[in-house]
Amino acid sequence: MIYLKTDEEIELLRESNLLVARTLGEIAKIVKPGITTLELDKVAETFIRDHKGIPGFLNYNGYPNTLCTSVNEQVVHGIPNGVPLKEGDIVSVDCGVLLNGFFGDSAYTFEVGIVKPEIKALLDATKASLYEGIKMAVEGQRLGDIGFAVQSYCEERGYSVVREMVGHGIGRNLHESPEVPNYGKRGYGIKLRQGMVLAIEPMINLGKRQIVQEKDGWTIRTSDRSVSAHFEHTVAIRKNEADILSSFKFVEEVLTLQS
């Protein structure tokens, strides 16, 4: 069952997603060599609760934290811990919020200090592929058009696309139908309709696309231990162009000031 949202519900979803965006902006201020992902997690939980939100991931199917923090070869669902981040690391920070009965969900992959040029290029391509997918998230297109746009952009540049982990519908539940793969065929899949709200989230690897799950039952990493990047926006399907409900504005304002 795919739930179509009213304009009023989409505005509530926008509020949830903007709280996620502002939380990621707070994280951007403190990502640096020496900080632990557990410290990032505590900052995020405090900020969300101070702004009348509830951490969307905490206790979701037993998940133990507010953020998913996936470092280097970890693709998604990394659990925050006490290991300090090092110069040259990257860390995907995925954040979810429940506010006014609706979920927000967005992710940004941060550079820790100075990263290698080939890793920076992977991050740039992954983020760009997200926006290529979003261009296809309009009424009348097909779900496969989104996946094809992401996949073709990344594979043309020599990167590989994770198949098993996908984006999703979002609303009163964190994960709703439909699943949103980052690969696909043009013109295939369900037809996109106004009122659908989707979390689109490319997970792109520097090496091969295969993944494994770590013993903790959550963390997904690349099987060849190559670096992986992850960016995510929540978008509402509209007639002419997608309405991006989340935002990287707060993150990028911080990163611009730091550079």
Q: Tens place of pLDDT for every residue, the chain, 259 residues?
A: 999 999 999 999 999 999 999 999 999 999 999 999 999 999 999 999 999 999 999 999 999 999 999 999 999 999 999 999 999 999 999 999 999 999 999 999 999 999 999 999 999 999 999 999 999 999 999 999 999 999 999 999 999 999 999 999 999 999 999 999 999 999 999 999 999 999 999 999 999 999 999 999 999 999 999 999 999 999 999 999 999 999 999 999 999 999 8
Query: String of b and e for 79-104 (b: at least 16 CB within 10 Å)?
Result: bbeeeebeeebbbbbbbbbbbeebbb
Q: What is the pLDDT of residue 61?
A: 95
Closest CA to 126 of 21, 231, 31, 48: 231
Q: What is the pLDDT of residue 259?
A: 83
167-169 vs 211-213, strand pairing mode: unpaired
The identity of residue 68, as a single letter, is C
**Which residues are CB-contacts of 258 (< 8 A; sequence separation ≥ 6)?**
none
What would the CATH number be for the domain defined by 7-258?
Answer: 3.90.230.10
Taking the C-alpha atoms of residue 67 and residue 76, their distance in angstroms, rounded to an integer, is 11
The DSSP 8-state label assigned to residue 191 in this structure reads: B
Query: String of b and e for 196-214 (b: at least 16 CB within 10 Å)?
Result: bbbbbbbbbbbeebebeee
Q: What is the pLDDT of residue 6?
A: 98
How distant, in Å, are the alpha carbons of 7, 77, 127, 130 from that of 136? 20, 26, 15, 10
| 84, 92 contact by CB (below 8 A) | no
**With DSSP H G I counted as helix, E B as strand and the rest as coil, what are the percentages for the chain, rounded to 5?**
30, 25, 40
211-213 vs 220-222, strand pairing mode: antiparallel
Q: What is the pLDDT of residue 193?
A: 97
